[in-house]
Structure formats: structure tokens, C-alpha cells
Amino acid sequence: MRTILFLMRKEYLQLFRDRQIRAQILVLPLVQLLLISNAATFQVRRTPMFVVDEDRSTTSARLVEHMTASGYFRVAGASPSEARADDALLRGAATIVLHVPADFEKELMRTRAAPVQLVLNAENGSTAGVVQSYAAEIIQRFAAEAGAELRPTIRGIGPAGTAAIAAPVPGMARIETRTRGWYNPDLRYSDYMVPGILVVLVTMSGTLLAAMSIAREKEIGTLEQLNVTPITRTQFIAGKLAPFWVLGMGQLTVGLVAAKIAFGIPMRGSLLVVFASAGVYMVAALGVGLFLSTLADTQQQAQFVSFFVLMLYLLMSGLFTPIDSMPRWAQIVAQFNPVTHFIRIMRAVMMKGAGFTEIATPLAALAAYAVVMLAIAVMRYHKTTA
């Protein structure tokens, strides 16, 4: 046990002696957190809209007004010419073109149905999808309201002998649909991304730094020196990984505090659950780092290999894009990724207030992964330099 403590102390000394590493461990995560949390958003804000209104009636004007009043759209230009609209799309000045054909109002009055055309810049397919659904919703609501107002008045003798004006007609199915979004009432992207970003930061310390640390020892030759000492494999590994475990947990704490202060990120669940899961996750991440270090001879190699593997993990973890959107095979692969489970846990606990029972499945997966990874890494590591 004392040996492990000695090794830990040596590790800390080596780590913090390097001024640049110091800055990276302490300053970098905070900077990353602040920067990424603000940049990493798919929020659809006031989308620039180009209006081609060939009808120029009150109805078409009111439709445009409805679109802008929602806050999701702003008029970036208007012209009767379609060519101008197209140019706006090409230049990137507008993301959506609303084209109201001539006789729109007349058509609507006459047949109760009229078309409009929406042309979207679909470079970003998912944003286009969201913009489209917003636009469709607004147009639908407009149609319903306009219908209620512009309905021609019914003058006649009703059953009660009085003139009925726009009386409710039986057989008209009117349903009131109330919508609510849980866990994110203000629809803030930061609430969703920050738990994931914290995971990224913790993973970097765990996997990247651990792998590099061992590779550095290999490169400068001190590994060989350690190998000729009487310390056992287990002691060496424990002494190597424990400091990074503590570091990662520390970074998580700092990150959580910063997230609360800077972004008002909710913490609806219990901190105990968060830290317990983080503890298990760190072991898994460190196991991966240890394994990667056995694949590299130099620091640079370790860096690149870790970077590569981390990229893979991050992309397939549901951090940026939902797992639910992936094809079936990718979803299965994602289940073998510890990052997937930890992000799920973090989001469930922080945003939804989940407890141990509700995150039992991903937590168990993490534990299994940690055990397996460590076992493989320990088996692969030999006290010889081949």
C-alpha cells in the first residue's frame, strides 16, 4: 500500500512540475466548458427568411406577420422576383424562402384551400427539418385562426329563430391539443450539452493523460527502471491510475460547480448518484487509457492513438447526435461504448432527476466494462520491455 502511495506522489510531482500541463489540467477544462457549452447548440434561432409575395393581399401579409411574430423567423429580404430569392439562398443570406403565389387569398376564399411554397436550404438536413416543422406548425395555426375569422357569416334563421352568425357546427371535431416539453421548459441547448461536455472533459483526463503518462515513461526510459524494482504489476498500475482517477473526479467537481454558476445547469438528481457513477466510469476510462498505452512506444503515438479512439467513442456516444437516430447496428455498437452509458446517466440524473434504480442498466454496463477493460489491460502489461 505504501508503495502505491509513493508511486502516486511521484506521479503528481511529475504531472504538476510541467507548467503547461498544470495549465491544461486546471484552466483548460474550464475554458473548454465555457466555450463548448455556448457553441455546441443546434438551436434554431431567428431564421432568415426571404419572402416572395406574389399575392400582396392582407392574408398573405398576415401570414408573413405570423411567421415573424413567432420569433423563429425574421424577414431577411423580400422581392417579387424568384431569381432574387434563389440568389439569397445561394449567397447564404436566407435559409428559407416563403413563396406565396398570386391569387392566394382569392383561392383560399373560394375553395378553402390554397398552396404556398417553402424552399429550404437543406445543407444542414436536421436544421432544415426543424425549420420545416416550425414553419408547418405556424402555417397550420394561421390557417385555423384565419378560418375562424374569415369564415363567411351565416345569416339565416336558425333553430331558435334568430340569425346565426358563424355558429359552431355539430360534427366539427375540435380538439384542444396542449403541448408540454418536460425537463427543458426553456428549450436550452446548454442544459442538454453540458452534462455531455463534462463527460468529455473527464474522459480526456482519464484516457488521454493516463495513456500519455505511461508512454512518456516508456519513451524516456524510466519505465524500464521501474520494472527492475520489486513492485508488482498491480502496484504499478494502481499507482499510475489512481492519481488520474482523483484528478478526473476533481475536474468533475470543478466542472459541475462552474456549470451551475455559469449556465444555471439543473441538478435535479442527487450528487451521490453522479459521483458514484463517475467513479465507476473513471475506472473504465482509465482502463482504456492503460490499454492504449500498451499500443504505443512514444508519446506522440499514444496521443494520436488515444485521440483516434476518443473521437470514435465520442461520435458514437450520443453526445452530439442522438443514439435513437442511428441505424440499428450502430445503436448496438454504441452499447459497447462506456461513454454512451455515462452520458445517459449524467443526462438522466441532472436533467430528469433519475435515481439509482432508474439508471441501473447503464450503471451495470459501466461496471462490467470497467472490470473487463482493467483485466485486459493488466493482462497485457508485462514487466518487460519487449
Q: Which positions from 346 through 385 interact with another protein, judged by CB under 8 A?
A: 347-348, 351-354, 358-359, 361
User: Under the criterion CB under 8 A, does residue 58 sit at the interface with another protein?
Assistant: no
- Out of 161, 185, 221, 230, name the contact with another protein by CB under 8 A: 185
> Between 177 and 228, whose beta carbon lies closer to another protein?
177
Q: Is 61 in the site for another protein (CB under 8 A)?
A: no
* Candidate ranges 4-12, 170-178, 241-249, 368-376; the one touching another protein (CB under 8 A): 170-178
What residues from 71 to 130 belong to the interface with another protein (CB under 8 A)?
89-92, 95, 108, 112-130
Cell of residue 109, nine digits: 376564399
Q: Are 62 and 70 in contact (CB under 8 A)?
A: no
As measured in angstroms, the least distance from the Cβ of 231 to another protein is: 26
Residues 309-324: b if buried by 16+ CB within 10 A, e if exposed: bbeebbebbbbeeebe
- Residue count, binding to another protein (CB under 8 A): 118
Helices 2-17, 210-220: inter-axial angle, 10-degree rounding: 90
- Contact flag: residue 249 with another protein (CB under 8 A): no
Choice between 261 and 324, CB closer to another protein: 324
Integer angstrom CA distances of residue 76 from 48, 49, 73: 5, 5, 9
* Sheet bearing 47-53, strands edge to edge: 73-78, 47-53, 96-100
| CA 198/CA 33 separation, integer angstroms | 7
Interacting residues with another protein between 208 and 227 (CB under 8 A): 212, 216
Using rule CB under 8 A, residue 16 touches another protein = no
Whole-angstrom distance, CA of residue 86 vs CA of residue 83: 5
Nearer to another protein, 121 or 374 (CB): 121
144 is a contact residue toward another protein (CB under 8 A): yes
Site for another protein contains 264 (CB under 8 A): no
Provide the minimum distance between the beta carbon of 146 and another protein in the complex, in angstroms, as a whole number. 6
Which position has the grid cell 492519481?
A: 243
d(CA 158, CA 138): 34
